[in-house]
């Protein structure tokens, strides 16, 4: 059986779904690459600290199926690719993060707080997954995505020089998440049959998908706010360099 036939046999997959999923993976992967490049260039980190540790924790758990997620191999290897990229981002946080802090107490205690935040994030994602039977990581991943979307505008405003930040990465994050939302809206309900999760029959289907739909919508709203802030700064920067004639 060829790769295409294998994909088409998966519940919730279709040619359109494959295209949407490819956009999701490509956009997010390129966004990661740009963030990492800007981080090394500006000697800082380009993702809010809580989001970095949550991302690493989630991708470690779902790259190695620590909750017995039983994901198909293409999801596993996609997560593992992102885990490698996130390891670089957390290296940037460890390498440059202390000097980036503006609160003296946090600068003093930066490394102990970083060391504490990593296992805390891991424990939060792991126990959330088991408590809510979110065995495929759908609710946890999109909840984290909303946290990131809310945090990025605040992160942006805290860096007037926009060190480590990129408008292109902001657009790619929005495009990748929008594609991911459409993908999950079709794929996730298809993982249930007769009211039970196909791979884990003891897990009941949600009575409503309104929570995930709420997450998809609000992530898009906050991504648009972040992009608007990025473009506002670019316009102001352009006016500073080339002021209009009096």
pLDDT tens digits, one per residue of 61-98: 999 999 999 998 889 999 999 999 999 999 999 999 99
Q: How confident is the model at residue 4 (pLDDT cuts 50, 70, 90)?
A: confident
What's the N-to-C CA distance of the chain in angstroms? 70
Q: pTM of the prediction?
A: 0.93
Looking at the DSSP bridge assignments, the partners of residue 197 are 192
pLDDT tens sequence across 191-239: 999 999 999 999 999 999 999 999 999 999 999 999 999 999 988 887 7
pLDDT single digits (tens) 91-133 = 999 999 999 999 999 999 999 999 999 999 999 999 999 999 9
Using pLDDT thresholds of 50, 70 and 90, give the confidence band for residue 55.
Answer: very high
113-146: b or e for each residue (b if 16 or more CB lie within 10 Å)?
ebeebbeebbebbbebbeeeebbbbbbbbbbbbb
CA distances from 218 to 2, 83, 154, 224 (A): 38, 25, 16, 10
């Amino acid at each position: 059986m060829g790769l295409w036939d294998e994909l088409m046999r998966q519940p919730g997959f279709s040619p359109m779904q494959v295209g949407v999923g490819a956009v999701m993976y490509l956009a997010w992967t390129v966004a990661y690459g740009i963030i990492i490049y800007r981080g090394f260039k500006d000697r800082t980190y380009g993702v809010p600290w809580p989001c970095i540790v949550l991302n690493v924790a989630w991708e470690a758990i779902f790259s190695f199926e620590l909750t017995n997620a039983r994901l198909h191999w293409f999801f596993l290897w996609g997560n593992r690719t992102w885990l490698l990229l996130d390891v670089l981002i957390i290296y940037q946080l460890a390498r440059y993060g202390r000097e980036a802090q503006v609160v003296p107490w946090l600068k003093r205690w930066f490394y102990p707080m970083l060391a504490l935040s990593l296992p805390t994030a891991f424990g939060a994602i792991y126990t959330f997954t088991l408590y809510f039977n979110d065995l495929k990581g759908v609710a946890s991943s999109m909840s984290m995505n909303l946290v990131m979307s809310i945090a990025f505008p605040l992160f942006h405003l805290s860096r007037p020089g926009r060190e480590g930040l990129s408008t292109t990465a902001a657009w790619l994050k929005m495009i990748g998440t929008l594609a991911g939302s459409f993908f999950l809206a079709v794929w996730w309900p298809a993982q249930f049959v007769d009211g039970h999760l196909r791979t884990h029959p003891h897990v009941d289907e949600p009575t409503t998908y309104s929570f995930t739909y709420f997450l998809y919508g609000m992530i898009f709203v906050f991504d648009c706010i972040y992009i608007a802030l990025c473009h506002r700064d670019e316009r102001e920067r352009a006016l500073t360099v080339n002021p209009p004639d009096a």
